[in-house]
Structures are given as structure tokens and as C-alpha cells.
Amino acid sequence: MTQRLNYIQQSPELFKKFLEFSNRMKEAAIEHSIVDLVQIRASQMNGCAFCVDMHVKEAKLHGERELRLHHVAIWRESTLFAPRERAALAWTEVLTRIPEAGVPDDLYERVRTQFSEKELSDLTFEVMAINGWNRANVAFRTVPGSSDKVFGLDKAGLQ
């Protein structure tokens, strides 16, 4: 894969603002383990190799088990995810590929049983953020692993 252009260099101020927005997510009401799953699943769905690579390594550094990382793509069939994680993954999927009829009421109600209104709002912003990053990195073909040293992801021990 060859990167098409470096959007960070071309639009440094916009990049900086979007990065600030994304970094604010660290203050959100959602636990890091769920954020990791959300970032991985949206990135898988969007075909963002750079982001899947990055977020799998981050999750590993955060202590996520390798088998669960492999099961994110098959989370519905897997027995490794708790109801709250399943709700977050379902919310991620519906917001990543919004159906023509919108978000179904039954899904919203199911997710609301697992998250407070504040948590659901924060989760929605997290999905928005990762989808934005996915779009930029897919559009410009950012090379997976190309920022590992910058982000300390080389410490994940995944090659």
C-alpha cells in the first residue's frame, strides 16, 4: 500500500482540532475497554487497515486479551463479550452504516438498558470520531504501522 497524501501535513490546523476532539474522548464516561472494541469494530467495517492495526495494538497495550481481539469481527456469535460490550458494538455498527430507516427503536431501547444517557451520548461521539478517522485514512491510504513509534505502539509486541 502506498499513501496517497499526508493529510496531516496538508491540513495541520484541521488535524490538530480533530485530534483535540478525539483526545477529549479520554474524558468520556465510557470505559477504555469498550472504546477499544468500538474503534476496532468501526475500523473493520470501514476497511481502515491503518486504524484496525493501530487500535488492535492499543487494545493489547491496554491489556485486552488476544482472543477477544480476534472475536470482535464475530462478536454476535462469540461468547466472550458482556451485554454492555455487545450493546456498544451494536450501536457502533448501526451508526457506522446508518440504515435508510434510521436507528431502529428496539436497538435504541436495548442499548439504553446498558448505558446512561450521558454514556450513550459519549459513546455516540466516540463512534463519530473513529468513523471520521477511518474516512481520512481510507481515502488517503495511510500505511498500517507507519506511526507505531510515534504513538508507542511498537511496545504492543505485535509485528
- For 24-89, give the DSSP string: HGGGSSS-HHHHHHHHHHHHHHHT-HHHHHHHHHHHHHTT--HHHHHHGGGTTT-SSS-HHHHHHH
Is residue 98 left, alpha or beta, with left meaning phi > 0 and alpha meaning psi from -120 to 50? beta
Q: Is 18 inside a domain boundary?
A: yes
6, pLDDT greater than 90: yes
pLDDT for the residue numbered 13: 97
The stretch 116-128 carries a mean pLDDT of 97
Q: Is 71 inside a domain boundary?
A: yes
157, pLDDT greater than 90: no
Q: Is 4 inside a domain boundary?
A: no
Rounded to whole angstroms, the Cα distance separating 143 from 88 reads: 28
CA dihedral 106, 112, 113, 115 (to 10 degrees): 150
Q: Is 23 inside a domain boundary?
A: yes
CATH number at residue 108: 1.20.1290.10
pLDDT for the residue numbered 72: 98
Give the total number of structural domains in the chain: 1
Q: Is 133 inside a domain boundary?
A: yes
Q: Is 3 inside a domain boundary?
A: no
149, pLDDT greater than 90: no
pLDDT for the residue numbered 110: 97
Sign of the torsion angle spanned by Cα atoms 62, 65, 66, 67: negative
pLDDT for the residue numbered 1: 84
Q: Is 156 inside a domain boundary?
A: no
Over residues 36-63, the pLDDT tens digits come to 999 999 999 999 999 999 999 999 999 9
Q: What percent of the chain has pLDDT over 70?
A: 99
Rounded to whole angstroms, the Cα distance separating 71 from 151 reads: 25
159, pLDDT greater than 80: no
Q: Of 86, 58, 49, 50, nearest to 71 (Cα)?
A: 86
pLDDT grade for 156, boundaries at 50, 70 and 90 = confident
The stretch 111-118 carries a mean pLDDT of 98
Its domain, for residue 98, covers 12-143
Amino acid at 121: S
- What's this model's pTM, rounded to 2 decimal places? 0.94
Q: Is 1 inside a domain boundary?
A: no
